[in-house]
Amino acid sequence: MKRTLLLVLCTLLALPALADEGMWLPSLIQSRIKEMRAKGFRLSAEDIYSINKASMKDAVVSFGGFCTGELISDRGLVLTNHHCGYNAIQALSSVDHDYLTYGFWAMSPAEELPAEGLFVRFLVRMEEVTDRIAAGETPDEIIARATAEGKGYRASIEQMYYGNQQFLFVYRQYDDVRLVGTPPSSIGKFGGDTDNWIWPRHTGDFSLFRIYAGADNEPAAYAPDNVPYRPRHHFPIDVSGIEEGDFTMIYGFPGSTQQYILADAVDYIQKCSDPVKIAIRTARLDLMGAAQQSDPALRIFYAARHAIIANPWKKWQGEVLGLERLRTAERKRAYEQAFEAWAADKPAYRTVVADMKQEYQRIIPIFFNLEVLSETLGTLPMPYPTAEREDPLFEARRPTERALWQLALNEYAELCRGERQLSAVREGIARWGSPDAYADHLFTLAADDPQQAELAELKQAIRTDIDTLRNQLGLKVVRNLHSARLNDLYAVYLRGLQEWDRERAFFPDANSTLRVAYGSVAGYEYADGEYHKPLTTLDGIIAKDDPTIYDYDIPQRLRDLYASKEYGRWGTWIDGRYTVPVCFLATNQTTGGNSGSPVLNGRGELIGLNFDRTWRSTMSDLEFDPTICRNIAVDIRYVLFVIDRVGGAGYLLDEMTLRK
């Protein structure tokens, strides 16, 4: 009876790595090759990752530490997203050379622009060091030895499965990276925040950089006579086009997922953390939005901040919808109960779930406090930097900035009460009579009297508070709802799960290390009776085009090309229309950090550039649903079309390896 019940529960509720779920470690990809080949992969594990010969990993880079990029020529040409290159492009821009607005195309190597501070990292190798550490070698010793192996080497040890396995990652970092080309924002950020996280999508979210090296091909600080880096491998480009069902593989650096967290943690995220953060950000975005509406100069000023606040804000909304739809917490709870029933007679695992729940009870208020701090007081400049205060625009910003201070103080006082509230804030509110009045006073100090000790004291009090809370969690860095004790418990829980749930293919949570995901080009049923096709085209861009709406105002050149149909070699017949493909959907599991990742076909050729996910799939960080989770990529043919026909930089195609 017990057995049968368990089996039924498992088949109904278990969350196995079915379909296209998963972000796999490249060095262990052999275990997935059979399934990948069944889906259309034509190469071997050695082609993906090898330390003996050139392999695909040699053409993938961590771009700046927060995105992914890929090599597309034997002269160090790197493709990544526009939103990944954004800061570098902005830093290189000026009023006279506004590359964000107008785009930029180097017409020769001499015109490429060094992007100061930008770096890329190649993975040299990865290896499991769990045993070495168990045998007494310290992580610091292992890292120091690996770093000494070569020029530009960096190393880190990362935990998989909450530390049940530890892996050494050795990287080689190149610091001379130059901007080669970028479309204008009206292509690279087409649709702006309106279309962000949304399908159908029409964003040409790409930019091009080049890695430079010393004459010996080794990493070197910027120097005018550095030469283009010669990679061990670069991706050939498949320009023959894609179809629904085609195999896709993504190779990149996903940032963070929490696949194995308990239902209690999901509940916190879905019912508390996300809604509270969404509400606070909605109010902030409203204030900025009103300012933007009122004054064109303010519209530009707040644009970047608005985008930074809106990106996670919109993601969280999709995440909540996705978790509700999937009933993730409910399903996880049933899964945990089934596990507990199995573990009842196993001393190693008997109490682990209960212990974790208890620890969650303890840390949720602490973590919530930290989240509230960072979403409220943590957003306030204490004081405003001199350059900002002296900016002529600062006068026009005052009412908005004052309102932002008031909002933050009110939200903080409301959400963080009693003992937890900073005494400085409690006293300030009492002294000035209300959060509004106190906020007003502080704003005036931050804007007009930046030397004031009171401001510095408040800032210090916030820092001390954060340190105290962090210590209560026992963590050096706080990221997700987590604590040192939870980490130990999860390590035990994961061992138990792996013993119990033998059908499930376990993959380690994303942690900014290199991963492989595979799947296929696929549309999905967005709503009852509403199927979303996996491919968009230039016709969709033209349909959205509207010179009166900032996000949808395309370059005249694109309108002209559409009118004349002079698409060159990039014109294609799709559903009876002569057009150019723009974006496509696939079933790969991706997350933040996967932006800029290569989307590859079964022969390891580039077919697209990953940059986003669809609205309700962002809960894939907690639970992946193959029926609805989709990643969004720019079709490589649109990238080449823009370089060639819009940018007039077709000469760059000569160094690429194009395949029909």
Q: Tell me, what amino acid is at 49?
A: Y
Name the phi and psi angles at 170, rounded to 5.
-110, 125
Residue 193 near which of ligand ARG, ligand ASP, none (CB within 5-8 Å, type-dependent): ligand ARG
For the beta carbon of residue 260, count every other beta carbon within 10 angstroms: 18
Residue 594 near which of ligand ASP, ligand ARG, none (CB within 5-8 Å, type-dependent): ligand ASP
Min. distance of Cβ 208 from ligand ASP in angstroms? 17
CA–CA dist 322, 626 (Å, integer): 12
Residue 197 engages ligand ARG in binding (rule: CB under 6 A):
yes
Residue 68 engages ligand ARG in binding (rule: CB under 6 A):
no
Exactly one of 175, 195, 205, 621 is catalytic; name it.
205
Annotation marks residue 595 as catalytic: yes
Q: Are 233 and 572 in contact (CB under 8 A)?
A: no
Residue 201 engages ligand ARG in binding (rule: CB under 6 A):
no
CA–CA dist 248, 59 (Å, integer): 17
Q: 26 forms bridges with which residues in the sheet?
A: none
Min. distance of Cβ 206 from ligand ASP in angstroms? 13
Residue 512 engages ligand ARG in binding (rule: CB under 6 A):
no
Q: Could you tell me the CA-to-CA distances from 249 to 22, 161, 505 in Å, in that order? A: 11, 23, 18
Of the two residues 306 and 613, which places its CB atom closer to ligand ASP in the complex?
613
Min. distance of Cβ 637 from ligand ASP in angstroms? 21
Interface with ligand ARG in residues 554-593 (CB under 6 A): 592
Of the two residues 93 and 311, which places its CB atom closer to ligand ARG in the complex?
311
E strands, 521-600, where? 524-527, 530-532, 535-537, 572-574, 577-579, 581-586, 598-600
Residue 189 engages ligand ARG in binding (rule: CB under 6 A):
yes
CA–CA dist 508, 455 (Å, integer): 44
Residue 307 near which of ligand ARG, ligand ASP, none (CB within 5-8 Å, type-dependent): ligand ARG
Query: Which residues touch 292 (CB under 8 Å, ≥6 apart)?
Result: 298, 299, 302, 303, 306
Min. distance of Cβ 448 from ligand ASP in angstroms? 38
Query: Which residues touch 216 (CB under 8 Å, ≥6 apart)?
Result: none
The interface region with ligand ARG, picked from 186-194, 207-215, 416-424, 536-544 by CB under 6 A, is: 186-194
Exactly one of 55, 186, 595, 617 is catalytic; name it.
595
Annotation marks residue 434 as catalytic: no
The interface region with ligand ARG, picked from 107-115, 192-200, 317-325, 327-335 by CB under 6 A, is: 192-200
Given 3-state DSSP classes, what are the helix, strand and coil percentages for the chain, each rounded to the nearest 5? Answer: 50, 20, 35
Going 91 to 92 to 96 to 98, the CA torsion angle's sign is: negative
Name the phi and psi angles at 156, rounded to 5.
-150, 160
Min. distance of Cβ 288 from ligand ARG in angstroms? 14
Exactly one of 82, 83, 306, 482 is catalytic; name it.
83
Of the two residues 192 and 602, which places its CB atom closer to ligand ARG in the complex?
192
In the complex, the residues that contact ligand ASP under the rule CB under 6 A are 590-595, 611-613
Query: Which residues touch 324 (CB under 8 Å, ≥6 apart)?
Result: 270
CA–CA dist 263, 259 (Å, integer): 11
Min. distance of Cβ 193 from ligand ARG in angstroms? 5
Query: Which residues touch 252 (CB under 8 Å, ≥6 apart)?
Result: 60, 68, 514, 515, 590, 593, 594, 596, 597, 598, 610
Min. distance of Cβ 478 from ligand ASP in angstroms? 20
Annotation marks residue 205 as catalytic: yes
The interface region with ligand ARG, picked from 166-174, 189-197, 376-384, 412-420 by CB under 6 A, is: 189-197
Contact positions toward ligand ARG, by CB under 6 A?
83, 189, 192-193, 196-197, 307, 311, 592, 595, 611-612
Which residues are identified as catalytic?
83, 205, 595
